[in-house]
Amino acid sequence: MTKRISRRAFLGGTAALMVATPALANAPTRSLRPVPRGEARLAVAQTPPEELIARAKLNGQVSYCLSDADTGKIIEQYAPNVGLPPASVAKAITAAYALEVLGPEHRFRTRLLGSGPVQEGVLKGNLILAGGADPTLNTDGLYALSEGLKAAGIHTVEGDFQVYGGALPMVPVIDISQPDHVGYNPAVSGLNLNFNRVHFEWRREDSDYAVTMEARSSQHRPGVHFAKMQVIERSMPVYTYKDSGAADEWTVARGALGKGGARWLPVRKPELYAGEVFQTFARAQGIALRAPKVIAELPEAAAELAGQDSGPLSDILRDMLKFSTNLTAEVVGLAATTARSGKPVSVRASAETMSAWANAAFETDGIVLVDHSGLGDTSRVESPDMVALLVAVRERLGLLPLLKEIPMRDANRKVLKSHPATVRAKTGTLNFVSGLAGYVDTTDGKALAFAIFAADTDRRDGLEKAERERPPGAASWNARAKILQQQLIDRWYVLHAS
């Protein structure tokens, strides 16, 4: 029987030897061509990567890998066997997984179902708002569905109004270690609305505050009651959250409010959220519905009365990679696992399935994810494995055009408009964690694939939960990490792409 040599074993015997060669890690032994890139750029190119890393003063670990994007041959790497948190770079893995399993033209459908016959505009049964795992469903979309119900001739519903999110497992939060109030850590369900965020706004009126909780969108802003806010006379903590069963109950410290402001808060009851908003819109269409009830299973005989499809998956993923929306990443990752092997019991279980898929598909063993968005800081990815994935999916799955263009900047973070490199990549940022992975294309058609990970995990692990939104020193640390990324790319371009 022939034994396949894994990419990891091959790297250990060949490319790993290359990184130990002084001529690779240090300045070239011959002079660089005098092309017009500026003295500062040439100086960076001739600086050993160890020195660039030391100058960044990240006080943690750094790992990177650079490969020829066409052949997969590793050109340069540093600490290749160190697995680090990928942060939102994980979304590029999730995008590849979803494209492979669901396909770029896949659409998610949200439906209105009737569990009984319709007679002269009267539904003789229950009306069901059934989520189809659309991560982009918003308030405007629910309004369009209410119009669809009216267009179907329905004016009365005799039964209950039910909401169903069971197409995916219900997950109260993506990452339990995050502060309660951050909008990027919402619940996940098969029925999601406005990325499962509710808009909290406050304004001072004499000695008190007027507060609103709304399902705000570009065209509509209905108020909601499932999420409640109370202003409390205290200075800290700024927010508290309690699940009362029927509602998300929030309090906010009066001393933190000032004259007025607004922010998005996470939703923990997405089915009730969508149900309440749809009930409001149905009322506007002249259709009175009872208060929404969450159901765990769909009746077999239910018939579709109206529906709405999302855009194609490729568009959803492009926006996910551009805006780094955690809810979208978790939903499409869970949907892909559900289509591939059945509904998982949790985000972590699905992420394990996705990791196993990636390691098998790309002959790696260093991709170990706990979620699909990168929000969990216990995920680990080794840079050569990330690059192996990027090389494999660049053409086959069409990942390259979905990634956003990353402008090249100087040491002062000023955009270099004349830089000859075109970089398309996915960024990843947590406090004291930074990543960047993608492709560098040159003016003469040469393409490179790269991954850069940096993390001070000890400093991050020392943070209290309440500190994780904006801890001292995190902004400057992440700025230095981004400068290092730009310096490495600039160095690679001069040495290996020109």
Segment 264-291 mean pLDDT = 98
Ranges 27-31, 216-220, 260-264: which has the least confidence: 27-31
**In the predicted model, is pLDDT for residue 35 greater than 90?**
no
pLDDT tens digits, 53-106: 999 999 999 999 999 999 999 999 999 999 999 999 999 999 999 999 999 999
Amino acid identity for residue 58 in this structure: L
Domain membership of residue 329 as a residue range: 7-103+313-497
Provide, rounded to the nearest whole percent, the portion of the chain with pLDDT above 70. 91
The answer as to whether 36 is a domain residue is yes
> Which alpha helices (DSSP H) does 46-128 contain, by range?
49-56, 90-101
Q: What is the pLDDT of residue 280?
A: 98
From the list 347, 348, 349, 369, the residue with the least C-alpha distance to 358 is 369
- 437 and 322 share one domain: yes
- 119 and 260 share one domain: yes
Q: Where are the beta strands (DSSP E) in 3-85?
A: 61-68, 74-78, 83-84
Could you tell me the end-to-end alpha-carbon distance of the chain, in angstroms, rounded to an integer?
Answer: 44
pLDDT tens digits, 169-209: 999 999 999 999 999 999 999 999 999 999 999 999 988 99
Domain stop point among 310, 345, 379: 310
CA angle, 470 then 473 then 479, to 5°: 95
Around Cβ 233, how many Cβ atoms within 10 Å? 7
Residues 254-264: b if buried by 16+ CB within 10 A, e if exposed: eeebeeeeeeb
| Angle between helix 90-101 and 326-341 (nearest 10) | 40
Question: Do 442 and 424 form a contact (C-beta atoms < 8 A)?
Answer: no
pLDDT tens digits, 302-344: 999 999 999 999 999 999 999 999 999 999 999 999 999 999 9
Domain stop point among 275, 310, 345: 310
Task: Find all residues with CB under 8 Å of 177, minimum gap 6, and list them.
Answer: 376, 377, 465, 468
- The separation between CA 73 and the C-alpha centre of its own chain, rounded to angstroms, equals 29
The answer as to whether 2 is a domain residue is no
**In the predicted model, is pLDDT for residue 444 greater than 50?**
yes
The answer as to whether 453 is a domain residue is yes
Q: What is the pLDDT of residue 364?
A: 96
Question: Do 274 and 142 form a contact (C-beta atoms < 8 A)?
Answer: yes
**In the predicted model, is pLDDT for residue 16 greater than 60?**
no
Question: Do 347 and 371 form a contact (C-beta atoms < 8 A)?
Answer: yes
Q: What is the pLDDT of residue 465?
A: 83
Structural domains of the chain, count: 2
357: CATH? 3.40.710.10
Q: What is the pLDDT of residue 42?
A: 64
Around Cβ 210, how many Cβ atoms within 10 Å? 12
**In the predicted model, is pLDDT for residue 2 greater than 90?**
no
Around Cβ 173, how many Cβ atoms within 10 Å? 17
- 246 and 325 share one domain: no
Please, what sign has the CA dihedral across residues 11, 93, 380, 61?
Answer: positive
Q: Phi/psi of residue 90, each to 5°?
A: -55, -25
Residues 211-221: b if buried by 16+ CB within 10 A, e if exposed: bbbbbbbeebe
Segment 415-422 mean pLDDT = 84
Write down the mean pLDDT value for the chain: 90
- 343 and 401 share one domain: yes
Q: What is the pLDDT of residue 235?
A: 86
> How far, CA to CA in Å, does 126 sit from each of 245, 277, 282?
23, 18, 14
Q: pLDDT band at 43, cuts 50/70/90?
A: low
Q: What is the pLDDT of residue 442?
A: 80
Q: What is the pLDDT of residue 31?
A: 33
- 398 and 451 share one domain: yes
Segment 218-225 mean pLDDT = 96
What is the radius of gyration, based on Cα positions, of the chain? 25
Q: How many CA atoms lie within 13 A of 116 on its CB side?
A: 16
**In the predicted model, is pLDDT for residue 161 greater than 90?**
yes
Give the separation between CA 81 and CA 9, rounded to whole angstroms. 12
The answer as to whether 406 is a domain residue is yes
Question: Do 75 and 67 form a contact (C-beta atoms < 8 A)?
Answer: yes
The answer as to whether 439 is a domain residue is yes
Q: Rounded to 5, what percent of the chain is helix, strand, coil? A: 35, 25, 40
From the list 308, 348, 309, 390, the residue with the least C-alpha distance to 95 is 390
Segment 226-251 mean pLDDT = 95
- The separation between CA 455 and the C-alpha centre of its own chain, rounded to angstroms, equals 19
Q: What is the pLDDT of residue 28?
A: 33
Give the separation between CA 214 and CA 84, rounded to whole angstroms. 39
Question: Do 215 and 221 form a contact (C-beta atoms < 8 A)?
Answer: yes
- The separation between CA 201 and the C-alpha centre of its own chain, rounded to angstroms, equals 25
Q: What is the pLDDT of residue 1?
A: 34
Segment 227-244 mean pLDDT = 95
Chain position carrying tokens 């993608």: 438
> How far, CA to CA in Å, does 86 sit from each of 82, 122, 215, 434?
12, 53, 32, 7
Domain stop point among 310, 337, 364: 310
pTM for the full predicted model: 0.90
Provide, rounded to the nearest whole percent, the portion of the chain with pLDDT above 90. 82
Question: Do 210 and 224 form a contact (C-beta atoms < 8 A)?
Answer: no
Residues 407-419: b if buried by 16+ CB within 10 A, e if exposed: ebbbeeeeebeeb
Q: Considering only residues 443 and 157, tell me which one the structure prediction assigns the higher pLDDT.
A: 157
Give the separation between CA 325 and CA 469, rounded to whole angstroms. 16
295: CATH? 3.50.80.20
Q: pLDDT band at 14, cuts 50/70/90?
A: very low
- 360 and 488 share one domain: yes
- 263 and 219 share one domain: yes
- 295 and 218 share one domain: yes
Chain position carrying tokens 């990815």: 381
Around Cβ 461, how many Cβ atoms within 10 Å? 11
**In the predicted model, is pLDDT for residue 221 greater than 90?**
yes
Q: pLDDT band at 40, cuts 50/70/90?
A: low
- 322 and 414 share one domain: yes
- 95 and 224 share one domain: no
- 64 and 157 share one domain: no
- 462 and 443 share one domain: yes
Segment 146-160 mean pLDDT = 98
The answer as to whether 1 is a domain residue is no
